[in-house]
């Protein structure tokens, strides 16, 4: 998958296990968005609508499991650890020449290996007011844009007070905290791909790496290094 390519919103009649051999996958569903470096795969239950995006040049492997033959009952997407053995089994099960008994045995081992992993989430809800939504979309396109709500108000035709109320009502948090969450969320694919913090920080609106790390710790309770470990 070239950088930025995507499989638009869709569902599958079978469970799916999505994994990036190289690069970083971003999977978006109603329940949230997951950033998946090669150390993580995502179990996507049958029927769950989702979109898959390549944050950079990415090689994706995916497996499908029939619900009637699966002991796993997760109802929402679940990130799992992608161990070396799991990766080898994914490659093995990708062989179309496997006989049904071989496939059943390998699939049983793979399902037994799926180990849920805890995630420290950075959620970015969108406002519902159209003018606030215009601001949000512009900041998604350029997280480093540091304009104030007064300046944004002149751009979208609303007062700063109106935008302040709209962000709080639509997202549940003040605009300043929403913008911080957006900046950190925008940084995750870059960090997962191995970009150094000194390169990522200015791209998402922080003048220094230390300012970025401090904001990251305030939001998640972890430094970026601990987050990805």
Quote the tokens at residue 222.
């972890």
- How is the beta sheet containing 32-36 ordered, strand by strand? 6-10, 50-54, 25-29, 32-36
pLDDT of residue 37: 84
* C-alpha 56: how far from chain center: 13
* 11 secondary structure, DSSP code: -
What is the chain's mean pLDDT, rounded? Answer: 91
Question: CA–CA separation, 127 vs 13, rounded Å?
Answer: 32
CB-count exposure of residue 187 (10 Å: 0-12, 13-18, 19+)? buried
Q: Count CB atoms within 10 A of the CB of residue 200.
A: 21
Question: Where do the domains of the chain lie, and which CATH numbers do they carry?
Answer: 6-113 (2.60.120.280), 130-228 (1.10.10.60)
Q: Average pLDDT in the 121-146 region?
A: 91
H-state helical runs in 47-99: 84-93
User: Is the model's pLDDT at 176 over the cut of 80?
Assistant: yes
User: Is the model's pLDDT at 31 over the cut of 90?
Assistant: no
Q: Positive or negative, the Cα torsion across 215, 183, 5, 34?
A: positive
Quote the tokens at residue 138.
């512009």
Using DSSP's 3-state secondary structure scheme, residue 228 falls into: helix
User: Is the model's pLDDT at 33 over the cut of 90?
Assistant: no
User: Range with the lowest mean pLDDT among 29-38, 117-126, 132-141, 164-173?
Assistant: 117-126
Q: Which residues pair with 158 in a beta bridge?
A: none
The CA-based angle 87-196-216, given to 5 degrees, is: 90
> Higher model confidence: residue 225 or residue 146?
146
* C-alpha 39: how far from chain center: 14
Q: Average pLDDT in the 74-87 region?
A: 92
């Amino acid at each position: 998958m070239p950088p930025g390519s995507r499989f638009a919103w869709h569902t599958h009649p079978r469970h799916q296990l999505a994994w990036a051999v190289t690069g970083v996958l971003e999977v978006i569903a109603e329940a949230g968005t997951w950033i998946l470096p090669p150390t993580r795969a995502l179990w996507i239950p049958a029927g769950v609508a989702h979109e898959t995006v390549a944050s950079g040049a990415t090689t994706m492997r995916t497996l499908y499991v029939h619900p009637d033959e699966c002991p796993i009952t997760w109802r929402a997407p679940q990130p799992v650890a992608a161990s070396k053995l799991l990766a080898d089994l994914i490659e093995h099960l990708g062989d179309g020449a496997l006989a049904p008994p071989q496939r059943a045995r390998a699939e049983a081992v793979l399902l037994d290996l799926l180990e849920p992993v805890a995630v420290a989430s950075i959620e970015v809800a969108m406002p519902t007011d159209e003018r606030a939504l215009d601001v949000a979309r512009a900041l998604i396109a350029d997280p480093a844009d540091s304009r104030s709500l007064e300046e944004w108000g002149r751009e979208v035709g609303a007062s700063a007070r109106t935008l302040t109320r709209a962000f709080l009502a639509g997202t549940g948090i003040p605009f300043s905290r929403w913008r911080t969450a957006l900046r950190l969320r925008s940084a995750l694919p870059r960090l997962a791909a191995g970009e150094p913090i000194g390169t990522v920080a200015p791209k998402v609106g922080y003048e220094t790496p230390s300012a970025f790390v401090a904001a990251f710790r305030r939001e998640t309770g972890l430094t970026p290094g601990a987050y990805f470990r």
